């Protein structure tokens, strides 16, 4: 997924359209969904956190990190864990416990409102119109400088029957 810089006005328009798509999804899913936030480094390190939200509250957080085998899409997991109930938010690594509503709020107030003279600002909505990337990179930064969120999947959560 490539990032593209947008003018501030374009970001605001795209954000508003994306919020509409999110509102429709939230309503149709009864505010019960999962999403995967991820980080990928030029060094090959990759981390992703799957958050499950039930009725508007984060209930499960699953994390895995590792490196990709050279020239493949195969992630060699080096660390993984799952939190739920009383163990939620007990690990330091992983994406914070945010609902998508909170992601949009943080995007609007923090990640997309930085000084555009000092930063390249990015926003994408490639999850059926719902946010897939929001953040910024300080100008003249060389490696892994993105501050914000990247989301590769948002889907309705259906509890598994055991």
What dihedral angle (degrees, nearest 10) is formed by the CA atoms of 71, 37, 146, 101? Answer: 160
More confident residue, 1 or 159: 159
Q: Can you give the residue range of the structural domain that contains 50? A: 8-156
* Arithmetic mean of pLDDT over the chain: 90
- Confidence at 7, pLDDT banded by 50, 70, 90: very low
- Split into its structural domains, the chain has a count of 1
Per-residue pLDDT for 53 more than 90? Answer: yes
Would residue 84 count as lying in a domain? yes
Q: How far apart are CA 29 and CA 82, in angstroms?
A: 23
* 161 within some domain: no
Residue 26 lies in a domain: yes
Q: Are 51 and 34 in contact (CB under 8 A)?
A: yes
Alpha-carbon distance of 79 to 70, in angstroms, equals 19
pLDDT value of position 13: 65
Q: What is the pLDDT of residues 82-99, one digit of tens each?
A: 999 999 999 999 999 999
Q: What is the pTM of this model?
A: 0.87
């Amino acid at each position: 997924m490539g990032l593209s810089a947008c003018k501030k006005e374009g970001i605001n328009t795209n954000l508003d359209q994306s919020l509409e798509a999110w509102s429709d999804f939230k309503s149709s899913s009864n505010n019960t969904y999962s999403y995967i936030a991820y980080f990928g480094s030029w060094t090959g390190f990759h981390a992703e956190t799957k958050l499950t939200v039930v009725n508007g509250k984060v209930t499960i957080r699953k994390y895995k990190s590792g490196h990709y085998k050279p020239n493949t899409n195969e992630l060699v997991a080096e660390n993984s864990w799952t939190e739920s109930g009383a163990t939620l938010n007990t690990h330091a690594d992983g994406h914070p416990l945010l609902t998508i509503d909170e992601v949009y709020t943080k995007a609007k107030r923090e990640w997309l409102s930085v000084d555009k003279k000092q930063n390249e600002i990015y926003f994408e909505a490639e999850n059926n119109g719902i946010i897939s990337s929001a953040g910024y990179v300080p100008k003249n930064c060389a490696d892994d400088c993105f501050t914000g969120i990247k989301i590769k999947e948002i889907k309705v959560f259906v509890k598994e029957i055991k």
